Chain A
Amino acid sequence: MLQLNQIYKVFNQGTPDEKLALKSLELTLEKGEFVTVIGSNGAGKSTLMNMISGKLIPDAGSVIIDGKDVSSVDEYVRSKMIGRVFQDPMAGTAPHMTIEENLAIAYGRTNKRGLRLGVTKSRRSFYKEKLETLHLGLENRMNAKVGMLSGGERQALSLLMATFTNPKILLLDEHTAALDPSRADLITKLTKEIVSQNNLTTLMVTHNMQQALDLGTSLIMMDKGQIIFEARGEEKQKLTVEKLLHEFQRIKGEKMLNDRAVLI
């Protein structure tokens, strides 16, 4: 479903701040696969997400979604196939528009926009039905401005908006990081439900190792623009936080040794 081939990305090329953000990155996601991504700050996780969504264009390499090479396709065209939830609860919704208007915009992701009304009677009941699946009572506040909702409610709405039109790929960019623990749990639970119900191909970045282990079918660890560890299927299910930390140190240690060898 998603294939990244030999992706390179350099920021600030030719300046003292030059940074190799992604280095010959290879990643393949099968249909229905749910991959969690962990790694320290600056490892290239966000760059990876932006590369898939089309916010950034790779310097070299190709991005293939559902068999189509979309490496140089504009973000707004690509987003027909991609649902995305951001870290900031403010980022995924339009605050001065109502809940139903926001859903109407999300509905337009796969359906060509025209001069039809965005919210009609039949659409409203469809939106309402979808909102009910969140169990937050938002279905009774459809005319409320989204700016009035709490962070958790907004993030739940963002998640619904990103998924209810069945995107080919769902990108979750630390989407529970800005929430308090109980709200984060709620969003995690909703994510689990929605992804499994719709069999969505999902890539989720998180800083929470436990969450990375609880969710998803596969796990990848990134460091310095590369994938340094990958666990799929059964191997992933057996992982624990300790094992993961151990693995991280082992790989980093080896690398350090190598670096030292080069220096000597």
Chain B
Amino acid sequence: MPTAIFSSFESGLIYAIMALGVYLTFRILDFPDLTVDGSFVTGAAVTAIMLVNGYSPIISTGAALLAGFAAGSITGLLHTKGKINPLLSGILMMIALYSINLRIMGKSNIPLFSESTIITSVKEIWSKTGLDSFLNKGMELLGLGNSVPSTWAIIFIMLVISLVIKFALSLFLKTEIGLAIRATGDNQSMVKSFSTNTDNMKVLGLSISNALVAFSGSLIAQYNGFSDIGMGIGMIVIGLASVIIGEAIFGAKTIARATLAVIGGAIVYRIVVALALQVQFLQTGDVKLITAAIVIGALIIPQIKDKQKEKSMKRKRLKELQMQQTLVKGAKEVATAKSNL
């Protein structure tokens, strides 16, 4: 059970990179981009086929990033130049990518267990530092001796990578171009009147977003040890779940806060799913159903809460009014009683 939590942390940190991409389109550009389901696999596929053919893990992962960038830019061009509705341009690209991903991989599944990947290289370097035994001792001192992971390497490196991306993203959104992208999602006609080519901003935003998604897909393939054509199904919903859960729990007042919240949301989502799967009744195949339920809950519960708050406020105010009236009445009675004296 504790190891399940640990691996949720690891995969949560990798999926967090995908969730940051979804945050960029969904929240910043106000563009519900469904390309994600396809570009996630594209990242995995490109990395897998390159690793199998003997390219270095770093180059294979970098290529995944570029492939995602290209996929996102095509979605952007479909929407801006082709004037296709945002949802539809994403769906079209997602469907097209399914075939493209099959072409890239040549078959529907590529195992990577025998390849050296970024994950295996990190583990190797990490084992030389001897930090594991140090950290495990720390855990033992805390009385958690039996819940140590096999290695701390992945958590550490993924924490670093996702935080670096988080900081880079929030810094980018403060640059002149970044501000123009945010304004494009906020008030398009306004930013157009300040000499911004909103089409370019959308294409750029979608490209960066899908580059992050593909990067995340590439890392997941290396982490799981295989790339599979079906691994992207429902990815957009997982991304949305992470964004919505994160914002609900950790807040979204500033960009810096929101991006951190998205990472937190991605981890919480993984933990919730892991805990749900501990229930006897549920099977691994139910993950998508659980995901949908989580998103529906995250969307509806705040509304119900707000309504209840409003109702209780009303009741309170009504009570206060009644109290005042009875007080006034009481005062009058006292007054008449006094005058009777």
Instruction: Report whether chain A binds chain B.
Output: yes
Contacts of A74 in B (CB 8 A): 197
* Contact status of A118 and B195, CB under 8 A, knowing A91-B190, A92-B190: no
Among A75, A82, A110, residue most surrounded by chain B Cβ atoms (within 10 Å): A75
Contacts of B191 in A (CB 8 A): 94, 105
Contacts of A105 in B (CB 8 A): 179-180, 183, 191, 194, 196
Contacts of A96 in B (CB 8 A): 182, 186
The 0/1 profile, CB within 8 Å of B marked 1, for residues 104-119 of chain A is 1110111001111111
A232 to B190, CA, bound (A): 32
* Contact status of A91 and B194, CB under 8 A, knowing A114-B175, A118-B174: no
Contacts of A116 in B (CB 8 A): 175-176
The reply to whether B193 and A118 form a contact with Cβ atoms under 8 Å apart is no
The reply to whether A79 and B179 form a contact with Cβ atoms under 8 Å apart is no
The reply to whether A79 and B175 form a contact with Cβ atoms under 8 Å apart is no
Is there a chain A Cβ closer than 8 Å to B177's Cβ? Answer: yes
Sorting the interface of chain A by its residue count into under 10, 10 to 19, 20 to 34 or 35 or more gives 20 to 34
* Contact status of A76 and B197, CB under 8 A, knowing A91-B189, A94-B190, A95-B186: yes
Cβ contact of A113, chosen from B172, B189, B196, cutoff 8 A: B196
Is there a chain A Cβ closer than 8 Å to B192's Cβ? Answer: yes
A106 to B192, CA, bound (A): 10
* Contact status of A113 and B180, CB under 8 A, knowing A76-B197, A79-B195: yes
A101 to B191, CA, bound (A): 12
Cβ contact of A110, chosen from B175, B186, B195, cutoff 8 A: B195
The 0/1 profile, CB within 8 Å of A marked 1, for residues 84-100 of chain B is 00000000000000000
The reply to whether B196 and A76 form a contact with Cβ atoms under 8 Å apart is yes
Contacts of A113 in B (CB 8 A): 176-177, 180, 196
Is there a chain B Cβ closer than 8 Å to A84's Cβ? Answer: yes
Within 8 A of B (CB), among A67-96: 74-77, 79-80, 82, 84, 90-96
Among B175, B176, B180, B186, residue most surrounded by chain A Cβ atoms (within 10 Å): B176
* Contact status of A115 and B192, CB under 8 A, knowing A76-B197, A76-B198, A95-B186: no
Contacts of B177 in A (CB 8 A): 113-115
Is there a chain A Cβ closer than 8 Å to B178's Cβ? Answer: yes
Contacts of B197 in A (CB 8 A): 74, 76
Is there a chain B Cβ closer than 8 Å to A60's Cβ? Answer: no
The reply to whether A53 and B193 form a contact with Cβ atoms under 8 Å apart is yes
A119 to B178, CA, bound (A): 12
Is there a chain A Cβ closer than 8 Å to B336's Cβ? Answer: no
A226 to B260, CA, bound (A): 57
The reply to whether B179 and A118 form a contact with Cβ atoms under 8 Å apart is yes
Is there a chain B Cβ closer than 8 Å to A97's Cβ? Answer: yes
A79 to B195, CA, bound (A): 5
Contacts of B183 in A (CB 8 A): 94, 97, 102, 105
Within 8 A of A (CB), among B165-215: 172, 174-180, 182-183, 186-187, 189-198
Shortest distance between the CB of B87 and any CB in chain A (Å)? 22
Among B177, B182, B193, residue most surrounded by chain A Cβ atoms (within 10 Å): B193
A64 to B179, CA, bound (A): 31
The reply to whether A94 and B176 form a contact with Cβ atoms under 8 Å apart is no
The reply to whether A97 and B179 form a contact with Cβ atoms under 8 Å apart is yes
The 5 closest A-B pairs by CB, nearest first: A94-B186, A113-B176, A118-B179, A79-B195, A109-B194
Residue positions of A touching B, CB distance < 8 A:
53, 74-77, 79-80, 82, 84, 90-97, 101-102, 104-106, 108-110, 113-119, 161-162
Residue positions of B touching A, CB distance < 8 A:
172, 174-180, 182-183, 186-187, 189-198
User: Can you list 7 A-B pairs, Cβ within 8 angstroms, ordered by A?
Assistant: A91-B187, A94-B190, A97-B183, A104-B176, A104-B179, A105-B191, A113-B180
